[in-house]
Structure 1
Amino acid sequence: MLTLEEAAEYLGVSKTSLRRWTRDGLLSCHRIGVRAERRFDQKMLDEFLLRRSTGLPITMPGRPPSFADALHQAAQDGRHKHVCLYFRNPIEQWEAFRHYFLDHYRAGLPTTYLHQASSRDQLLERVSAEGIDAQDAINRGLLRIFPAQDSYLRQGAFSADFMISFMRLIMVRMRDDGFRKHLVTGEMDWFFSNTPGVDEIHAYERRLNKLLDEYPDVTIVCQYDITRFDGENVLEACCTHPIVHLDEQLRQGFFLPPQG
């Protein structure tokens, strides 16, 4: 069994590409340990190389459903598409989030990205690495990027009231532009800005679920760096989201809507 690094060297590709292929169902792997680390069978790698060299279809039989399918099923089960996405580093962050963005982009649906830890240039570079003209996506209204200073911290402090109004305005404008379905995502690192009001973060997340009662077709993905948030805040985030994305899987969160 080969590690991720050994398999990438064996195939002559980057570890990022290898992670992406396993996530997209193009290459199978085994998962071991508490952190579900990837391990690769050399025979599987040889078969993958053969398929690529002969032009045979690469998609593996029994490919798991996409995140879009999983979110649709969650909506069918009565859960809003409000996702708490946990990641450990910038590579894992984009590898996890890219599926949401690509599912919307390929369907001609817009994404609004509120960033803090990532810079605008880094985001455009990641989008371009997907084979997408990032500036064209912006010009067509399929990608809008706002820094935390113009969203979460726009008033020089965080206010749950303001952010709910801000998010509602995004949804109203998108609906007016003909987009009932769209994606809004935010990097939650602004919590560490020491700005007044950041302790309202979980109250804000709970209220987003109420907002989605009005706009159930919207997907909201909140990105949490699990190496920075302590255990209490990680648990709180699980309790304010109907869906949790961790280690390449969507799981049911602990949020329960109020009764009555």
Structure 2
Amino acid sequence: MNQRTLVMGVVNVTPDSFSDGGLWLDAEDAIAHGLELIDQGADLLDIGGESTRPGAVRPPAEEELRRVLPVIRGLVGRVPISVDTMRAETAEQAIEAGAQIINDVSGGLADPRMLGMIAQAGVDYVCQHWRGHGAVMNDLATYSDVVPEVVAELTRRLQACAEAGIDSAKVIVDPGLGFAKTAEQDWALLAHLDAFTSMGHRVLIGASRKRFLGHLLAGREPQGRDAATAAVSVICAQQGVWAV
């Protein structure tokens, strides 16, 4: 029997994340939110100190670390902890604090040290499809055929992971919904999840409250997209996705 799809709770310790920016900037509030997500059934938590929404401005590394490290330490040991970062320095300190998964939305492209550090640390690594930082990603959503192109670009990142010495069993792929993609392209990727589940790795799908759901719901704001998020998550589970 296949393992059930896991639910990843998200703790954004940021002032500017698109769905809940500023709500959990205080470490104690963020920890309390994480505990609430666990009580509600989250199987693992993803903690992030940098917004990756379109147009986002990157914080300094020191600020990212200041945001996430106390929250990791306050939640570690309860469920597996993932840390959403593109910086090897942040990832390294997060692992030392107890993180078991590094969720790198850039797939190792933003920091040339990342893949080697992950190989040495031996933790799980989410390798996401990515074309550029938030400030420019909306200008990079040009594809002739989005599904095979995203698969091809992800495949090159998986090759880079292997060349860096990362154990294939530790790698999780993420097609990167909303990252350099239009709403129509996001829906095309969701309609062809088998293209990603057949790549030989666990698959993570991050759909929660994203813009493509708002397009479906006549522009509804992020807080009004939870039912649509749940519906998409069920579809992902039916397709054998590892976590949503």
TM-score range, shorter chain: 0.3 to 0.5
TM-score (norm 1): 0.40
Which has the larger share of helix? 1
TM-score (norm 2): 0.42
Larger Rg, first or second structure (1 or 2): 1
Which has the larger share of strand? 1
Bigger relative CO (Cα 8 Å, ≥ 6 apart): 1
